[in-house]
């Protein structure tokens, strides 16, 4: 445990390698450090000098959505529905977690012992995606809109070509609804069947029904994400 704390303290003093990865040199390094503090860490270390990263995540989420929306609007003369699906593909948790892994953000996170040992893919994905959004919030506060825009283009919007080339922007909920209405004349209904986990990391289980029959279930850190996973599973179950 002592060695773990020593490594944590070392990371508190030196974020230069992470800054190199991010391509951003912070004026106020405390903003970057706070972006990496998970709420669970403070439960075990109440005297830690910084707060958790959720406020920065809130800001970063808004900055990310605005900059991605602006880029799509300026560069593609497409209907609103297409642009919405493309944006969703760029900013979804799964995509953001991949970017966070490429930037080695996980090596710098301040997590509780329990969270550090939790190898559940969904839990890890959510923590990484949230941390990346918090870092975007920190960049915005420290460097402003221009640097934030450059960071997002370099690390997130750069994935758009692959998303478009492989049609990764298709919305599973829309697809399942269109096909089910065409084949059965029934509109799918989604219902939450279970909620679990602590307040700061809720996991929702959502079922999707066609009439009286539940076709599939999906899990997610929000009801919307769980619905998407349920729709994906339903498409596979039905062979559509």
Task: Check if 61 is active-site.
Answer: yes
Asked if 173 and 61 touch (Cβ cutoff 8 Å), the reply is no
- What is the torsion angle, in degrees rounded to the nearest 10, for the CA atoms of residue 63, residue 66, residue 71 and residue 76? 160
Q: What are the backbone dihedrals phi and psi of residue 45, each rounded to the nearest 5 degrees, phi first?
A: -130, 70
| More confident of the two residues 25 and 116 | 25
Confidence band (pLDDT; 50, 70, 90) for 14? Answer: confident
Q: pLDDT tens digits for 205-220?
A: 999 999 999 999 999 8
Give CA torsion, residues 88, 135, 35, 127, to 10 deg: 30
Residue 122 has pLDDT above 60, yes or no: yes
Share of the chain above pLDDT 90, in %: 66
Residue 133: active-site member: yes
> Which residue out of 14, 44, 57, 133 is catalytically annotated?
133
Domains and CATH numbers, the chain: 2-165 (1.10.1520.10), 172-238 (3.30.160.20)
For range 144-173, the mean pLDDT: 93
More confident call, 2 vs 74: 74
Q: How confident is the model at residue 167 (pLDDT cuts 50, 70, 90)?
A: confident
Mean pLDDT of 99-120: 89
Closest to 38 measured CA to CA, from 102, 99, 114: 114
Nearest to 105 by CA among 37, 202, 13: 37
Choosing from 61, 115, 142, 229, the catalytic residue is 61
Alpha helices in 2-92 (DSSP H): 2-13, 16-22, 29-35, 39-44, 54-75, 80-91
Burial of 10 (0-12, 13-18, 19+ CB in 10 A): exposed
By three-state DSSP, how is residue 43 classified?
helix
Whole-prediction pTM value? 0.75
- Tell me, what DSSP letter sits at residue 110? B
């Amino acid at each position: 445990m002592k060695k773990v704390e020593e490594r944590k303290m070392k990371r508190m003093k030196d974020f230069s390698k992470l800054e190199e990865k991010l391509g951003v040199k912070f004026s106020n390094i405390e903003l970057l450090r706070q972006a990496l503090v998970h709420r669970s860490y403070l439960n075990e270390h109440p005297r830690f000098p910084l707060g958790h990263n959720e406020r920065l995540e809130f800001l970063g989420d808004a900055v990310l959505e605005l900059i991605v929306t602006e880029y799509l609007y300026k560069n593609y003369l497409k209907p609103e529905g297409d642009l919405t699906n493309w944006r969703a593909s760029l900013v979804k948790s799964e995509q953001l977690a991949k970017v966070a892994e490429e930037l080695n953000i996980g090596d710098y996170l301040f997590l509780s012992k329990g969270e550090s040992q939790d190898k559940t893919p969904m839990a890890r994905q959510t923590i990484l995606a949230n941390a990346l959004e918090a870092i975007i919030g920190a960049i915005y506060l420290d460097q402003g809109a221009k640097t934030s825009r450059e960071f997002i283009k370099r690390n997130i919007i750069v994935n758009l070509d692959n998303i478009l080339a492989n049609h990764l922007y298709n919305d599973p909920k829309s697809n399942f609804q269109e096909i089910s209405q065409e084949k059965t004349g029934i509109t799918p209904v989604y219902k939450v069947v279970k909620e679990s986990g602590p307040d700061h990391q809720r996991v929702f289980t959502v079922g999707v029904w066609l009439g009286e029959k539940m076709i599939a279930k999906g899990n997610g850190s929000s009801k919307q994400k769980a619905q998407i996973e349920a729709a994906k599973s339903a498409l596979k179950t039905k062979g559509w």
